[in-house]
Amino acid sequence: MRQITALLLVVWTAAGPLVPPAEGSELKAATLAAFDRYIRATEARMEDDLREGHFFFVDRLPDNRRHSIDAQLLQGMVDIQRLHTLEEGRTILIPNGMIHHWVGVIFIPNAKLPQVRAILEDYDEHEKFYKPDIRRSKLLDRNGNESKTYLQLYKKSLVTVVLNANFDITDTQVTSTRAQTKSYSTRIAEVVNQGKPDEHELPVGMDHGYMWRLYTYWRIEEKNGGVYLQVEVVALTRKFPPILGWLINTLVENIPKSTISALLIDTRKAVIERNALTAGSVPYSHRPALLAGSSAVEHSHIGPCGT
């Protein structure tokens, strides 16, 4: 009986895009207001980190743990941690919504800061660097260090989700060896019946709630003969029914981890392959020990990171 029930839940979830949005999937004003509070508290923590000399999140950790993570990064691994921002020591409740907050860091050997920035800011090519998670990418406008972009995001798990998303991006050169980028969604629309004659977008905020908001923060530093690259991601989705909790919790744990790991590894691959092409040397893809062998290491730090 338990196996039959589980199968029904999987089928129900997989059929999500075929039915009207479930009750409670509308983006409520209270949900968005709480998410905005979460973002403000998270960005305040980031500013505090900079004032305290913590450019990367791992810089906040004890010395022995930080050194251990750094050793793993230099061996080609990825460090990923789940975060939870507090506001004055208290959890920020998100009515009818869920926060997904993760940070990951990787090391790119023999790279220079401008080379990494060139990949991150080559927005028209992101559909090549980050496929299949990004199906389409386009730079819509650039004014100095500010850009507007379009991405079509794709994720296939128990359901196939396609989202048309617009982002505002600010790139900042902090020092000669450090840079940072902030990207935030200005519009996310779910695409249904993708690839069919009746393909169309659902009204923004009136959908299945797979993703309502997405903020991405990059920090880049050149040192130790290469570049450290960190990405911190904060996303807002709907709160799913409790009966699906066992399933959704698994996806919440595994999908962001694998997505962030792929994002960082794909960036490293793009940087090194472009550099190899420019230098006329052996393509980096011919060196699988640092590519296919680069696994993500998630540490047990899943605690608060607020003030």
Helices and strands of the chain, counted as H and E runs: 6, 12
Query: What is the Cα–Cα distance from 142 to 115, expressed in whole angstroms?
Result: 19
Could you read off the pLDDT of 129-182 as tens digits, one per residue?
999 889 999 999 999 999 999 999 998 776 788 999 999 999 999 999 999 999
**Residue 10: inside a domain, yes or no?**
no
**Residue 266: inside a domain, yes or no?**
yes
Q: Average pLDDT over the chain, rounded to whole?
A: 84
| 19 vs 92, residue with greater confidence | 92
**Residue 11: inside a domain, yes or no?**
no
C-beta atoms surrounding 9 within 10 Å? 15
- Report the pLDDT value the prediction gives residue 193, as an integer from 0 to 100: 87
**Residue 108: inside a domain, yes or no?**
yes
**Residue 16: inside a domain, yes or no?**
no
Residues of the chain with pLDDT > 90, as a percent, come to 66
**Residue 139: inside a domain, yes or no?**
yes
CATH number assigned to the domain comprising residue 251: 3.30.530.20
Query: What is the Cα–Cα distance from 260 to 36, expressed in whole angstroms?
Result: 22
Q: How many domains does the chain have?
A: 1
Could you read off the pLDDT of 116-127 as tens digits, one per residue?
999 999 999 999
Q: Across-strand partners of 233?
A: 102, 216
Q: 132 preceded by cis ω (within 30°)?
A: yes
Instruction: Read off the pTM.
Output: 0.84
Could you read off the pLDDT of 185-205 as tens digits, one per residue?
999 999 998 888 999 999 999
Q: What is the dihedral of CA 111, 223, 215, 36, to 10 degrees?
A: -170
pLDDT at 2 over 80: no
Q: 193-197 — which CB contacts under 8 Å span 24+ positions?
A: 194/160, 194/162
| 65 vs 249, residue with greater confidence | 65
Range of the domain at 204: 27-298
**Residue 109: inside a domain, yes or no?**
yes
**Residue 178: inside a domain, yes or no?**
yes
